[in-house]
Amino acid sequence: MTIDQLVEYANKKFAKNTIWEALSQEKKEQLLINVQSKRSVTKTITEWLAEFEDEDDDVVVTSSVVPRKYKEKYGTEANCGDDLAQKIKGVTPETPEWITICKANSIDPGRWSSLNNGLQRMNLGNVLRGRVARGEEIDITI
């Protein structure tokens, strides 16, 4: 059975399931690819939908790829909340503090220039955390 055939079958089978209906075509295909090797696609999808519904009665289906447990852990701050994250919060490649922190720690300020600001800050934080974990000194004086 092809993925298109599986999607068509699942669309008929789960037509009245609001969670299934809220999924994008791409998400449905991804789910079906994951369960295609199982013995019973219907049972596997039914189990997945039941688990999804059990997580929260007020389920809101989004297109986010970030698992709920990480959203809960990191909240709306978009960082892990440690001292380093708090210190570099708001520091972006457009701010003078970015250059100061990078140069003080011998890091090329343009190292992650192909990434968006949030990912650049995350990478900077990870490099600095790695240095701390290895017992190296870092300078985040702004």
Number of helices (H) and strands (E) in the chain: give both, helices first.
8, 0
What's residue 108's pLDDT? 95
Give me the sign of the Cα torsion angle 61, 33, 69, 124. Answer: negative
d(CA 75, CA 69): 10
Task: Give the HSE-up count for residue 85: Cα atoms under 13 Å, Cβ half-sphere.
Answer: 11
84-107 confidence digits (pLDDT tens): 888 988 899 999 999 999 999 999
d(CA 13, CA 57): 22
Give the mean pLDDT of 1-9: 70
d(CA 124, CA 130): 10
Residue 114 identity: S
Tell me the pTM: 0.51
DSSP 57: T
40-78 confidence digits (pLDDT tens): 555 566 666 666 555 544 555 555 666 677 777 666 666
